[in-house]
Amino acid sequence: MDVFASIPNLAKDLAAGRITARQLVEDCLARIEAPDGEGARSFISVDKERARLAADVCDRMRTGNLPLGPYAGIPISIKDLFDVEGQVTRAGSRVLDRQPSATADAAAVARLRAAGFILIGRTNMTEFAYSGLGLNPHYGTPRSVWDREAGRIPGGSSSGAAVSVADGMAHAALGTDTGGSCRIPAAFNGLTGFKPTARRVPQGGVVPLSPSLDSIGPIARSVACCTALDAVLSGESHSRPVPDCRGLRLLVPLTIALDGLDDKVSKDFEVALGRLSKAGAQIFEIPVPEFGEIAALQAKGGLTAAESFAYHRGMIEEKAALYDPRVLKRILRGAEQSAADYIDVVNARNSLIRRASQRLALFDALVMPTVPVVAPLLGDVEAEAAYTAANLLVLRNSTLINMIDGCAISLPIHEAGSAPVGLTVAGHSGDDAALLAIASAIEARLVSRET
């Protein structure tokens, strides 16, 4: 049994009887419980018995040749931001400990469950999803799959989601992405993370960070995995053929996205561009002035601070002491904005989206490093000043796509055994199916897998 197989391959193995759902679940549970592993920090809760029961039902139905979807029996982890019927949704915080259990699944969770995926557990995350680093003082911080002894950040906010997949504790993860929260942890853990267009997947039953920017997407092992999961989550079948790289027009933005790259990221990115060019893709390196406007829109915390403060202000009045101080500080920036400030940002963003869309319309996709640096050491980002600087840097590139209302996917492009580096491939708002097809063609030229 290949415990790091893709979702499509696992579906084939299940259908052929080469593996059972119970075997998959037991293997994931063993990895979660391994004393030398990251399970205790990656998961806030684990659904052992419900997962086993669901697996046994899947296996009996397959044995009896009863109708069953292709993904039935594949274990998947769920970010602690999503409602799961009968469970408390804590959003990686202690603030919501006394909340009643959810009475229904979030829409995205319900779609995964209906497709037969088995919910293995709820994954740890940055409190209320408000950081790209992945640190959590309440439940611990899972360590990136790379350089684990030294201890490097997992990326956030979907930190436990990514580590659960990287360590084989789940075969895919459901995450959210407001400024990079699927793509950053995917990049830091050698995985593939997809941020769909914000309105593509229904957000009912999900604790919000910034409803204007929030999107729901998967973290998994390949573009094929993300494509399969996106079809379930969005309800849209994918029939678009995968193009060849030859003739693809790829934009490399010279504004902001390439500033201050560390040597490893710069080298891996240049190697990737060289391979794509050799495969026949046309690479255009040009400025994108709209990206240069985004920092000013976020000067007072932007949409994220304003919209998160609107959600949290009542809880802050009662329970401020329970928040991670680093998260609380960022939420409170929303209190500094007036209604006029917020309207100004909304209007400016609408203009930004319109102008950026016109500029990018000449290209098939935009490509850039997902994160400008490799995963920093945990000890180097825990102090407030270092945390703030690292958070801004780690979020910088991925936020560009959220702000222009695009869709994007991060692919691993590092050599096996070296520090993980992600390549972002981004597309226009609503062009998710086309982007996934393009990403599949790019992946075929760039990604060398260890398994």
Catalytic position from the list 144, 157, 210, 398 = 157
DSSP class of residue 152 equals B
Determine phi and psi for 6, rounding to 5 degrees.
-75, 165
The verdict on whether 319 is a catalytic residue reads no
The verdict on whether 159 is a catalytic residue reads no
Catalytic position from the list 6, 42, 77, 79 = 79
Q: Say which residues have a Cβ less than 8 Å from residue 8's Cβ, sequence separation at least 6.
A: 224, 225, 228
Burial class (CB within 10 angstroms; exposed 0-12, middle 13-18, buried 19+) of 148: middle
The answer to whether the beta carbons of residues 331 and 130 sit under 8 Å apart is: yes
Burial class (CB within 10 angstroms; exposed 0-12, middle 13-18, buried 19+) of 221: buried
The answer to whether the beta carbons of residues 422 and 185 sit under 8 Å apart is: no
Q: What is the DSSP string of 55-96?
A: HHHHHHHHHTT----TTTT-EEEEETTB--TTS---TTSSTT
Cα distance between residue 152 and residue 143, in whole Å: 6
Catalytic position from the list 42, 93, 131, 181 = 181
Number of Cβ within 10 Å of residue 218's Cβ equals: 33
CA proximity to 413, closest of 427, 428, 405, 423:
423
The verdict on whether 418 is a catalytic residue reads no
Burial class (CB within 10 angstroms; exposed 0-12, middle 13-18, buried 19+) of 151: middle
Q: Which helix (H) or strand (E) holds 429?
A: none
The tokens of 446 are what? 């760039």
Query: Which are the catalytic amino acids?
Result: 79, 157, 181
